[in-house]
Structures are given as structure tokens and as C-alpha cells.
Amino acid sequence: MTSPIVHPLTTLPPQLLAVLKEATDQRLQNVLGAIITSRYASSSPDLADFRSTVRDKDVKEDSSVLSDFRNLVPLTDYGAYRPWVAKFFERPCKLSEVENLLAPGLPKYFAVSSSTSGSKPKHFARYIGSTGLMRASEDAVRSSALTGTIAPVFTLSYRDIVDVITASGEVKRIPVCIASSGFLRNCEGWTVETDNTRMASMSEYPFHQNATMDGH
């Protein structure tokens, strides 16, 4: 039996296009409202014109902020964020130096790039909940309509751990791992401190950095 030929859409119907635009604008407004008070947003030279324009606006509610952002914020590459991310990898890493750095609170994990281009790995701070974006993705995974027996294969390994030290000496541990590992850890609420309660075995990462491996 010949499979039907499926042609990809080149344009969206007006109704779907309107829904997509509304959803995109709402997500952008949520992100801007969440990170506008972060240290990066408050002092980055790339956002100077944007900060000046929205100073007296309600960033969380005023829709004109969206056009301000699109018109005034230039495209940036990883180099613009590297000095900020590097603060997390200073030793010791003090909470007073990194809290609310790129978004409210602390990252849940650092996603590390694969370095396929031959350059040094890039680290991306993933904040969960404070911006609303990743939480929506987690909810989509939990509400999946898949049925039957599913046998997913994944790793929970991490390449490093960032220990953030509070003023009282308490240590908050943040894993540095591939994005899928960090995403799954957050979906399930699995912290590195409790890995030994659910793992059949513990081993070291091949690159001689501490890691946790799924033993099942």
C-alpha cells in the first residue's frame, strides 16, 4: 500500500497564525516581566536603551513593552553572557554573587553544549518556574497521551556540580549536565543530593568528573 504524500505547510491559516502570535507574545511578556529585575537585565549594556524606554512602564502588563524589546534589544551571541555565566564557576561560588543573576533565584541546572564545533563547552543556566517557559514544557510531558508500556532510555549523569555557598555556610548544589538529563531531573524532582536513594550503582563520569549514572 502506497503511503499518502504529505506536503508541509508553507503558511498558517489566519486563525492559527493569530493563536501562535498571541501565545508567543504572552510568553515573551512573561519572560520579560520575570527577568527585568535580574542583575543582568539591570546592568547589561546590550539592554541600556530598552531599560531607559521601559523605566516607567509595567513590564508585566503593558503590551507596548513587546515592541520596545523587539526594536531596541540587539541580537547577541554567547559572548554577551559568558562573563555572567562564568561567575557561577568561580571558587568559592557565593550566593550573594550569583543570586538573581540572569533570572530570579538560582538555576536548577546548567545545560552543557556538546562542543561539536571544536570550541570549549558552553554552559546555559536553566531557571525553572521563575520564567514559566520550562514549566510549560514539563506539564506537556506529564500530560502526554501516550499509552501502553514505555521503556525510555536516558542518563542522569552530570559532568560537574556547582556548589553555591550561602552566608550561613549552607551549600546549594547545581548539576552541570546535558539538557535532557537536567530536564528529566526537574520533571521528577530528582536532586543530586538524593541520587543514592534511587540508583542501583554510582560511578564516575568518563571525563573523571563526578557523576551519577542510572543503574536500571
pLDDT digits (tens, 9 = 90+) for 10-54: 888 999 999 999 999 999 999 999 999 999 999 999 999 999 999
Instruction: Measure the CA–CA gap between 45 and 76, rounded to whole angstroms.
Output: 11
| 160-165 sheet: strands from edge to edge | 93-94, 160-165, 171-177, 109-112, 123-126
Query: What are the tens digits of pLDDT across the range 73-84?
Result: 999 999 999 999
Q: What pTM value is reported for the model?
A: 0.79
146-203 confidence digits (pLDDT tens): 567 777 777 888 999 999 999 999 999 999 999 999 998 988 888 998 888 877 766 6
Q: Is 118 left (phi over 0), alpha (psi -120 to 50) or beta?
A: left
Average pLDDT estimate for 122-144: 69
Q: What is the DSSP annotation of 67-97?
A: HHHHHHSPP--GGGTHHHHHGGGSSSEEHHH
The pLDDT of residue 147: 64
Whether the pLDDT of residue 55 is over 70: the answer is yes
Q: Where are the domains of the chain?
A: 14-75, 77-135+153-199
Q: Are 126 and 108 in contact (CB under 8 A)?
A: yes
CA distance 112 to 124: 6
pLDDT at residue 99, as a whole number: 97
Which cell goes with 83?
A: 562573563
